Amino acid sequence: MRAGRRLRDLSQRISPPQLTVLTFALLVLCGAGLLALPAATESGERTPFAAALFTSTSAASVTGLAVVDTGGHWSFLGEGVILALIQVGGFGIMALATVLTLVVGRHLGLRMAVRTGSETKTLTLGEVRRIAVGILTVTLVFETAVMAVLTLRWWIGYDLPLGSAAYLGLFHAVSSFNNAGFSPFADSLMGYATDPWITVPVAVGVVAGGLGFPVWVELWRFARRRGERHTWTIHARITLSVTGCLLAVGFAAFLALEWDNPATMGGLDLRGKLLTGFFQAVMPRTAGFNSLDFGAMNTQTLLVTDLLMFVGGGSAGTAGGIKVTTFAVLLFVVLANVRGEPTVHVGHRRLGEGVASQAVTVVLLSLSLVLAGTLALMTMTTFTLDEILFETTSAFATVGLSTGITADLPVPGQMVLVFLMFVGRIGPIALASALALRRRARAYELPEERPIVG
């Protein structure tokens, strides 16, 4: 009885962001413990805890960076643990982010505080349960569809046994929808770069998971109303439009910068170039699959990819980064200031008070973490700035793309990436939630004074 009372008292004192951090840390440690078992490796030897912790963090944070060959080092048990971490991590983040990020401003009669947005209704416990069921449904639908296509392709097109084809289909379907980027193949999907039956379903899974559950709710409502007038939420409009723009920008940039690069797409025909350009434009959304060698890409391409990875995908989804809505809010703030407007408007709506300051806080703290991680790795290694910046951005944005230096980093450097992956996965969510939940009115205001800006 006393133990139960203590747990209840503790749950009342822990805020939702703190609970998110603790739950995620427990998941990572449990995964690391399982991966450190001898049975988790093909050789039967125990994996060093640092490597097990790195892999567990990368899987739970749905990143995809690896210090050992996923298909060659881990046994069926080890790969099963990685797959479970990806699924639990992706679903858990989607569920928590949907409840904590979709809704804002008022505390409910639950032990944990959640936020409700200006365009949503107050959540009840039953509605929270329905959200979880809805997220699970969307997850299973997309993963099953992607798995079916991939399984048939590997079975019929590559003459693999049905069991092996189904396993590869399942692994890549879960990894793609959760934007993880893990693959049993040592070269990711480079061996299938020009096969649309492999790369397109994976890309579709990445985009679907990266849009976020709130957007899929909007799309479902729009599809059901056929012909009826549908009022889109600001969140859905921003997510869909900015995602489309970033995909187009990434596609054009990859084609322009890598078209004649003999080490990447220079030797491909027109169809192959368009397919690989599209696939690599999708991956910074943020999944770590690659059909081209990023280590052989031009420096300009790496910089463009850094920017795309940092922005990431949609809120309350499996993608990482600062999120496309945060990026869009900053653009609208800049536009409003250039026009001299006192408030920020998007479409026919005015952005709520405090949204701009939250976006600025998230971006500046995120930049600080990436730069700090980059500086730390530069002092530990002899790799170039573009390689290290690419690695730290990929880790923080939970992308998983790499120029191939991950396994060559010293253990302290790998721990820097572990920290970036952990903070990058739950940091923006927890920070945005904490900022919204801690907002309170001031009892008085001090005299106003404007410093010189610029």
Residues 54 and 417: beta-carbon distance below 8 Å: yes
**pLDDT given for residue 12 in this prediction:** 55
**pLDDT given for residue 114 in this prediction:** 38
pLDDT band of 110, cuts 50, 70, 90: very low
**Residues above pLDDT 90, as percent of the chain:** 60
Q: How many CA atoms lie within 13 A of 222 on its CB side?
A: 12
Closest CA to 426 of 121, 63, 84: 63
Instruction: Compute the average pLDDT of residues 292-303.
Output: 95
Give the whole-angstrom CA distance, residue 333 versus residue 339: 10
**Average pLDDT, whole number, for the chain?**
85
Please indicate whether residue 454 or residue 31 has the higher confidence score (pLDDT): 31
**pLDDT given for residue 42 in this prediction:** 94
Position 442 pLDDT exceeds 90: no
**pLDDT given for residue 426 in this prediction:** 81
Name the packing angle between helices 385-396 and 411-437 (round to 10°). 50
Q: How many CA atoms lie within 13 A of 293 on its CB side?
A: 12
Position 226 pLDDT exceeds 90: no
Query: Which pair of structure tokens corresponds to residue 352?
Result: 């709520």
Closest CA to 399 of 273, 274, 288: 288
**pLDDT given for residue 128 in this prediction:** 67
Residues 261 and 373: beta-carbon distance below 8 Å: no
The answer for residues whose C-beta is within 8 angstroms of residue 445's C-beta and 6 or more apart is none
pLDDT band of 149, cuts 50, 70, 90: very high
pLDDT digits (tens, 9 = 90+) for 177-199: 999 989 999 999 999 999 999 99
**pLDDT given for residue 453 in this prediction:** 66
pLDDT digits (tens, 9 = 90+) for 82-101: 999 999 988 877 776 666 65
- The per-residue DSSP string of 35-102 comes to HTSGGGBSS-PPPPHHHHHHHHHHHHTT----SS-HHHHB-HHHHHHHHHHHHHHHHHHHHHHHHHHS
**pLDDT given for residue 112 in this prediction:** 36
**Residues above pLDDT 70, as percent of the chain:** 84
Position 355 pLDDT exceeds 50: yes
**pLDDT given for residue 84 in this prediction:** 94
Q: How far is CA 153 from CA 167, 198, 204, 445, in A?
A: 12, 7, 16, 65
Closest CA to 396 of 370, 364, 376, 430: 370
**pLDDT given for residue 111 in this prediction:** 35
Residue 346: φ, ψ to 5°: -130, 115
Instruction: Compute the average pLDDT of residues 247-267.
Output: 95
**pLDDT given for residue 91 in this prediction:** 84
Residues 113 and 232: beta-carbon distance below 8 Å: no
pLDDT band of 117, cuts 50, 70, 90: very low
**pLDDT given for residue 309 in this prediction:** 96
Give the whole-angstrom CA distance, residue 437 versus residue 106: 8
Which residues pair with residue 182 across a beta bridge?
Answer: none
**pLDDT given for residue 13 in this prediction:** 63
**pLDDT given for residue 27 in this prediction:** 92
**pLDDT given for residue 106 in this prediction:** 40
Position 222 pLDDT exceeds 80: yes
pLDDT band of 432, cuts 50, 70, 90: low
The answer for residues whose C-beta is within 8 angstroms of residue 164's C-beta and 6 or more apart is 154
Q: How far is CA 157 from CA 144, 149, 195, 254, 453, in A?
A: 19, 11, 10, 28, 62
Position 30 pLDDT exceeds 70: yes
**pLDDT given for residue 189 in this prediction:** 94
Give the whole-angstrom CA distance, residue 40 versus residue 21: 26
pLDDT digits (tens, 9 = 90+) for 261-275: 999 999 999 999 999
Closest CA to 358 of 424, 429, 408, 309: 429
- Entry field: residues in the chain: 454
Tell whether pTM > 0.95: no
Q: Which of 14-28, 129-143, 165-179 has the lowest mean pLDDT?
A: 14-28
Q: Identify which of 97-101, 112-116, 318-322, 357-361 has the greatest average pLDDT.
A: 318-322
